Amino acid sequence: MRIAFIADALDFQYAGIHIYTREILKALVAIDTKNEYIVVRGKAGEKIEGAEEIIIPVNPNIRGHKEWRLLRSIPRALVKAGVDIVVEPRHFGPFNLPKEIKRVTVLHDLTPVLFPDYHILSSRILHRYVLPRVLRRTDHVLTVSECTRQDLIETFPFAEKKSTAILLGRDESFTPKNDASVLEKYGIRQPYFLYVGTLEPRKNLGVLVDAYNTFRQRSGLNHQLVLVGKKGWKIDNLLEKIRQSPYQKDIILTGYVAREELPVLYTMSEVFVYPSLYEGFGLPVLEAMSCGARVITSKVSSLPEVGGDAAMYFDPNSVEQLANMMLQLAFDAPLLKILSEKSLAQAQQFSWEKTAKETLAVMTAL
């Protein structure tokens, strides 16, 4: 078979979907010697070795060209290339393909449907009016967790029999790594609590800051709180909460951090805290565990699927629960050691090879 991936995320997106697209393609090409893979993207970039490339540029100077490209240019190119299966990792598409070409849609989460207040108007409209049509027309939906699959079934019951949950893999570059110069670069000193991800309302960082304030008041310790990631939308309330904190000088906002530096930040942290209100998967939790970080995270959505029995879980609406867990770990060195060992063991259960094998089985059965 000739299997095409609409891989725009490789060039125009740098978070979870970018990572998924890159890693699943690399893993599929590595394990599959029977089928051919085609990467459809918007510009030349780092190539996926062993895969063909079709570059269909996006012209930002032509209004509506991005949509035209998805609806017309890409389908025409796919038909011309003689593909058998088309995979869209961003869940909007694939579009306008003849029936003999099978469509696979990857769904990472349903937050614009379940939590519309956390998304801009255009995203809410697309998910309300376009996504149902995409899901009806696709031949199969891959979700990145069983939680997301259950959300899909509850919201769109017709998709139950054509959906499969396949967990994401572990990036093998995330291993324990110590480098004091990385901490120095960002003004970080040990010990510190760490968060990694976009700074936005869904990540529930206000609760983390409040819990950190409580921790400092009760513990008498001088741990820092390090928030790593780009600033998202509706961030003003969080920034104001940080400004009002009596420990403001010890709350570090690093902004974007290069991927090669993240293992150091995970490894050298005392505790990684991920208080998100909802995750389709929660890659930062897996990244942290791969580096042996001790993890406290929310007991909601897919996060228990990722953390297993290696993480500590709290009600994301409870500042008190989170603060108590932070206090417990700060004063219990043996528990820190146990959780670090559990994290490393839990992370070993995930691999992109496993993800690729399960994905290939679904595509082969279409």
**Those residues with Cβ within 8 angstroms of residue 294's Cβ, 6 or more apart along the chain or in another chain:** 270, 271, 272, 312, 329, 336, 339, 340, 343
Q: Which residue in 168, 347, 167 sits closest to 263, CA to CA?
A: 347
* pLDDT one-digit tens code per residue, 336-355: 999 999 999 999 999 999 99
pLDDT over 70, % of the chain: 98
Residue 251, pLDDT score: 98
**Residues 164, 242 share a domain:** no
Average pLDDT over residues 170-195: 97
Assign 112 a pLDDT band (cuts: 50, 70, 90): confident
Shared domain for 249 and 198, answered yes or no, is: yes
**Dihedral class, residue 91 (left if φ above 0, else alpha if ψ from -120 to 50, else beta):** left
Residues 334 and 355 in one domain: no
Q: Is the pLDDT of residue 14 over 80?
A: no
Who has greater pLDDT, 10 or 213? 213
Q: How confident is the model at residue 303 (pLDDT cuts 50, 70, 90)?
A: very high
pLDDT tens digit string along 209-225? Answer: 999 999 999 999 999 99
Per the domain annotation, does 54 fall within a domain?
A: yes
Average pLDDT over residues 148-169: 96
Q: Enumerate the β-bridge partners of residue 102.
A: 85
Whether 285 is covered by a domain: the verdict is yes
Cα-trace Rg, the chain: 21
pLDDT for res 119: 64
What pLDDT, in 10s, does the model give residues 244-271? Answer: 999 999 999 999 999 999 999 999 999 9
- Does any domain span residue 15? yes
Mean pLDDT for 115-137 is 78
Are 148 and 246 in a shared domain?
A: no
The answer on 253 and 277 residing in a single domain is yes
Tell me the per-residue pLDDT of 58-89, one tens digit each, with 9 for 90 and over. Answer: 887 777 777 788 888 999 999 999 999 999 99
Q: In the predicted model, is pLDDT for residue 114 greater than 80? A: no
| Boundaries of domain holding 327 | 180-347
Residue 174 lies in a domain: no
